[in-house]
Amino acid sequence: MHFKLPAILAVASATVSIANPTWQAENSWIQSFEGHQAPEHTSPRPNISCFPKTPHQPPPWSPPRNKVCYVKSYNDSVSDDSTYVLNALHDCNNGGHVVFKQGLKYTIGTALDLTFLNHIDIDVQSYIQFSNDTTYWQANSFRFVFQNVTSFFKLGGNDVNIFGGGTIDGNGQIWYDLYASNIYTLRPVLFGLDGLHNSTISNLVLRYSPEYYHFIANSTNVVFDNINIAGGSKSANVAKNTDGWDTYRSSDIVIQNSHINNGDDCISFKPNSTNILIQNLFCNGSHGISVGSLGQYVGEFDIVQNIYVYNISMHNASDAARIKVWPNTPSALSGDLQGGGGSGLVQNITYDTILVDNVDYAIEVDQCYGQSNLTLCLQYPSPLTISDVLFTNFQGKTSKKYAPETSTFACSSDSACSNIVAQGIDVQSTGGERDAFCLNVDVATLDVNCTDTYKGFN
């Protein structure tokens, strides 16, 4: 089923499709430079603006750079170019422009701590791939304190701009197959940010991440613009947990004008994510744009606050807009993902102008995440509160999975949720119904047909 997009959604889709080459075109681009090197040049730094919505603070601004460093490469897809990368970054730190030259292939086989960066532009014109040594990466990749997150490299510092139109490849297939045989495999994130401030990441093609494509931790005032994400499995083993972006202990983040084909959350706001703007995205095959999961760890107080999600085109997904909170009892979503018992708050969240196309649930508010026993969840309601949430201007059709339900609003107690509003919801199930499951919420504020039947849980 095809839907006519609102004017602004059509503009967004047209914009991002420019940076969405077909696989054949992408592979031809890589191969066309084999055997020779293109002339040296630098890419102009993109002039990024945030439109049509504006963030809490202006996008970062950087002065001109005064030095250029070209990254050397063995250019053989086998030898480790990490030393060359580090040398160039150190040489051009504090005011320089580093170029991964067009026509070269770079292989990264060493975990890189890049948290020293300061006043630097990184111009990725080329093809960069991480090595397939899963034993090395599991032992040496950088571990974050949340869930099982690790990363190939740790990017941090101040006034860093990454751009150039090149491709960064996580060599994910070997990881998809390995995880299928061992769910405790530590799969690296493609882009690990830890303490990055006043920076931009734009005009990049990201492929085959082993797990999340981005994990943004302890960072402030970072803008992502025109990022193209894709890379499913080529075997029977599914590429799992390939979130587009996860934010954690970070504020004033903008993600916009991007095209995402993945197999998990398009974007997920993890604990202590505040003042975030998401706009103009095409998401396909995902689990939606999600708050959470939250409340996973006993003794932790999780906050997600001041989030604005605008102009999203969501296709072939499990959810469009989602809030997921663990109950106040030990629960297991899977062998490597368990939790429950944490507290916190979700406040001032807006989902505005969302196109729903073959999505299982247009809206899902779930305070029983990871717990399939509804009675047990209600017996141990979450201490994490959800308040001041607005879902507005939704249109389209859901899949047949939960028909006739199109949404679910499931709070674990009558005091856990307040001021949850759904207005302008023009979403129908495959049979034309507008039903929703509603539990412990004020049905008068919901522009849906609340029922008492719960067809889907987790």
Rounded distance between C-alpha atoms, residue 407 and residue 321, angstroms: 10
Rounded distance between C-alpha atoms, residue 200 and residue 440, angstroms: 41
Q: Taking the CA atoms of 120, 57, 319 and 26 in sequence, report the sign of the dihedral they define.
A: negative
Helices (H), 309-431: 374-379
What H or E segment, with its residue span, contains residue 222?
strand 220-230
Rounded distance between C-alpha atoms, residue 133 and residue 123, angstroms: 26
Joined together, the tokens standing for residue 100 give 């991964």
Name the catalytic one among 119, 259, 287, 315: 287
Rounded distance between C-alpha atoms, residue 6 and residue 394, angstroms: 11
Q: Residue written as tokens 């293109």?
A: 38
Joined together, the tokens standing for residue 50 give 């945030």
Joined together, the tokens standing for residue 305 give 């606050």
Active site residue 287: yes
Joined together, the tokens standing for residue 62 give 């950087």
Q: Taking the CA atoms of 111, 115, 117 and 123 in sequence, report the sign of the dihedral they define.
A: positive
Which residues have a catalytic role annotated? 287
